[in-house]
């Protein structure tokens, strides 16, 4: 079990780093949809899928090096490390399926087909659970069985995603062509767009890793309490991301149409919805946070530690909602350069200095730095949004990625 947990954590970090394949595709597709450009819809789909497939194959080729470099950081025992290797060496073959699915999900969101990603995720998780029970408990294949279950589930989810895309494209009257793949200028733009998102994601991963490492230095109970609270933060962010995804698709469509009124209306509506949802999360955590912690862990010491830092989490939805929501706006507008730049500023100029100044406060100082970091991300994006709106930048470069 420990080996599976270690390897699964490693895969989560790897695949999260390539989340740009989803985000980058959405904005391009949403704008193409706004222009009613069926050629561009197919071009961005094909180029994103090819890019994802090549990246997945490269991950397989580089897997021995990845395992050699990453595994020592977990400081696992010999037995756990060996089981982690077994799991990793099998599950790595799902990388092309996972990354292509990112591209397909991004395409479906850009096409305003939100049921598609939901069905893909539900099928993948359901098949994974069933095959885990069969392979691990039924056939006794242990660690390798768990990895095989995930690989099969990922490829079945990919098959469903491809089927959905095929059905959507069946009646658009256009065809795929070789020129779509070999449009070097467009592919260069796609790589540049994904580069911005990749740097942004690495910054976010670095903050999360730093937060975990500093928490570990404060003791096992603090580490466990922080992990518990951060898991709740992930759930909150997933809830708020629903409105961000709507913003991605609808703002991108508005820019593709050249409809300024619709663009600002979408920003306003998704912003208010995000803010209300964030407020409800704060209310829920404020009223039932301690009870929730008791349900999530059966270790009283961990629950007690987590309750000490719970006020930070209670405030977080209304602080973080701004960056989650505006990320969606900037993705739809294909202005990922600003997402990258504001993230770099938030990490280098805000998070690290605040932590350094308040490090003597221990975990309270760590949570203070993390909270100010999230606020800085939102404030940076708000400033850029206001500047772009004042100078009509959103629509000035709307043909750049055609």
| Alpha-carbon span 28 to 333, nearest angstrom | 8
Q: What is the mean pLDDT of the chain?
A: 88
**Residue pLDDT, tens place only, 77-94:** 677 777 788 888 889 999
> How many residues comprise the chain?
402
Q: Looking at the predicted structure, is the pLDDT value of residue 401 above 70?
A: no
3-class state of residue 335 by DSSP: coil
> How buried is 294 (Cβ within 10 angstroms: 0-12 exposed, 13-18 middle, 19+ buried)?
middle
Structure tokens at 86: 């077994």
**Residue pLDDT, tens place only, 113-132:** 988 999 999 999 999 899 98
* pLDDT average, residue stretch 162-184: 80
Q: Angle, nearest 10°, between helix axes 20-34 and 336-345?
A: 140
Residue-wise burial string across 244-260, b where 16 or more C-beta atoms lie within 10 A, e elsewhere:
bbbbbbbbbbbbbbeee
**Residue pLDDT, tens place only, 374-389:** 999 999 999 999 999 9
Going by the DSSP 8-state scheme, the letter that residue 82 receives in this structure is H
Q: Angle, nearest 10°, between helix axes 363-390 and 220-257?
A: 10
How many angstroms separate the Cα of 330 from the Cα of each of 50, 82, 187? 24, 43, 20
For residue 399, what pLDDT band results from cuts at 50, 70 and 90? very low
Q: Looking at the predicted structure, is the pLDDT value of residue 20 above 60?
A: yes
**Residue pLDDT, tens place only, 33-47:** 999 888 889 998 999
pTM: 0.86
| Alpha-carbon span 313 to 329, nearest angstrom | 25
Is 42 within 8 Å of 56 (Cβ atoms)?
A: no
Residue-wise burial string across 350-377, b where 16 or more C-beta atoms lie within 10 A, e elsewhere:
bbbebbeebeeeebebbbbbbbbbbbbb
| Alpha-carbon span 101 to 155, nearest angstrom | 9
- Residue 386 is predicted with a pLDDT of 95
Residues 6+ apart with CB under 8 A from 53: 96, 99, 100
Q: Which residue has the higher pLDDT, 371 or 305?
A: 371
Give percent above pLDDT 90 in the chain.
53
């Amino acid at each position: 079990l420990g080996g599976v947990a270690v390897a699964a954590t490693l895969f989560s970090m790897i695949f999260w780093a390539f989340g740009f394949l989803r985000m980058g595709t959405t904005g391009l597709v949403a704008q193409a949809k706004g222009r009613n450009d069926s050629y561009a819809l197919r071009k961005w789909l094909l180029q994103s899928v090819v890019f994802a497939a090549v990246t997945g194959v490269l991950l397989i080729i580089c897997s021995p090096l990845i395992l050699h470099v990453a595994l020592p950081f977990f400081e696992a025992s010999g037995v756990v490390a060996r089981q982690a290797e077994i799991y990793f060496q099998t599950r790595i073959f799902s990388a092309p399926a996972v990354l292509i699915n990112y591209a397909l999900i991004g395409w479906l969101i850009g096409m305003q087909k939100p049921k598609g990603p939901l069905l893909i995720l539900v099928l993948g998780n359901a098949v994974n659970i069933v095959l885990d029970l069969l392979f691990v408990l039924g056939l006794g294949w242990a660690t390798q069985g768990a990895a095989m279950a995930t690989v099969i589930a990922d490829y079945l989810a990919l098959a469903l995603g491809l089927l959905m895309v095929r059905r959507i494209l069946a009646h658009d009257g256009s065809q795929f062509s070789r020129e779509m793949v070999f449009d070097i200028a467009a592919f260069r733009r796609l790589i540049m767009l994904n580069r911005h998102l990749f740097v942004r994601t690495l910054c976010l991963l670095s903050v999360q890793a730093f937060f975990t490492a500093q928490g570990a230095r404060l003791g096992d109970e603090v580490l466990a309490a922080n992990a518990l609270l951060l898991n709740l933060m992930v759930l909150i962010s997933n809830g708020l991301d629903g409105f961000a995804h709507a913003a991605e698709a609808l703002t991108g469509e508005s820019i593709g149409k050249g409809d300024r009124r619709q663009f600002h209306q979408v920003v306003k509506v998704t912003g208010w919805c995000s803010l209300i949802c964030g407020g409800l999360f704060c209310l829920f955590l404020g009223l039932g946070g301690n009870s929730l912690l008791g349900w999530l862990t059966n270790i009283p010491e961990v629950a007690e530690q987590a309750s000490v830092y719970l006020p930070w989490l209670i405030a977080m939805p209304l602080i973080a909602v701004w960056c989650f929501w505006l990320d969606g706006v900037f993705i739809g507008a294909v202005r990922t350069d600003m997402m990258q730049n504001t993230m770099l500023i938030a990490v280098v100029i805000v998070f690290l200095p605040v932590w350094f100044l308040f490090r003597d406060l221990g975990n309270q100082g760590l949570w203070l730095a993390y909270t100010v970091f999230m606020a800085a991300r939102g404030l940076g994006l708000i400033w850029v949004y206001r500047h772009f709106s004042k100078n009509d930048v959103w629509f000035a470069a709307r043909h750049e990625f055609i």
